[in-house]
Amino acid sequence: MDFPRMESIFRKLALEAGDRIMEIYNADDFDVKVKSDDSPVTEADEVADALISAGIAATFPEVALVTEEQAASHTQLVSSFIIVDPLDGTKEFINRRGDFTVNIAYVENGVPLRGVVYAPAKGRLFYTEADGRTVEETGPFEKERKGDVTPLAVSEPDNSALMVVASKSHRDAATDAYIGKYSVKDMKSAGSSLKFCLVASGEADLYPRLGRTMEWDTAAGDAVLRGAGGHVIRFDDHAPLTYGKTGYENPFFIAYAPGVDLKAG
């Protein structure tokens, strides 16, 4: 795989999609529809999906593409694929909370090796470079030229004072009960795959998710976290979270910095 080219294309497509998303986000109003699974979808989801899909097909025609908005067509599992959530955090987008992201990742043999997470309303851009290490780029962002980047590394956790991040829109009693097993110094709420990025940047030590997610929700953030030295494991047996599963649905999982004294569920 041509990882230098992948880094450049993923970054550029995420930025272009982010521009289109923000045009709609900043409009006076936008339409919201409901999909067959009762989840919301907006014009921004569809426009970003079309843009990214066309860009991936033009540059990596030999690689299978899986996207949230075309999920019904993804019936044949393959060992290597690019997986996209063009607008992760649609509820945050609809409620104008800003915690939404563009997610693009490359998966090989169950492992998300490269990924980009762009939060256009937050002005934060995280991605794995060609060598697999994660950086955060500081804006303003130019499509054709990479700007200043800061290499990211997970924290060295203090188990007597952990920094925890959890979902903004999907918190529940089970999640709170699990978090209650730890000595927590500070708790943050964030939407979309930004939670993985906060662990990758050392702003949080632990992100447990005891709720339904799909692989396109997590693959890019997972790649970003892995490239910063973090781990994502299944909640039930602490085995590594893998990708390319039938139906693309994830089990519950835990994302964390090594050194966190993990508790049983």
At 105-147, the pLDDT tens digits run: 999 999 999 999 999 999 999 999 999 999 999 989 999 999 9
Whether the per-residue pLDDT at 199 is higher than 80: the answer is yes
Place 100 in a pLDDT band, splitting at 50, 70 and 90. Answer: very high
CATH architecture of 3-151: 2-Layer Sandwich (3.30)
Q: What is the pLDDT of residue 170?
A: 63
Q: What is the pLDDT of residue 214?
A: 93
At 173-197, the pLDDT tens digits run: 888 899 999 999 999 888 889 999 9
CATH architecture of 162-256: 3-Layer(aba) Sandwich (3.40)
Looking at every residue in the chain, the average pLDDT score rounds to 91
Instruction: Starting at the earlier edge strand, list the strands of the sheet with 149-151.
Output: 64-67, 80-88, 101-108, 111-119, 124-128, 134-137, 149-151
* CB-CB contact of 100 with 192 (8 Å): yes
Neighbours of 41 (CB within 10 A): 18
| Nearest-angstrom CA–CA distance, 125 and 135 | 8
Where do the structural domains in the chain lie, given as residue ranges?
3-151, 162-256
Q: What is the pLDDT of residue 4?
A: 96
At 212-259, the pLDDT tens digits run: 899 999 999 999 999 999 999 999 999 999 999 988 999 999 999 999
Q: What token pair was written down for 219?
A: 């693959």
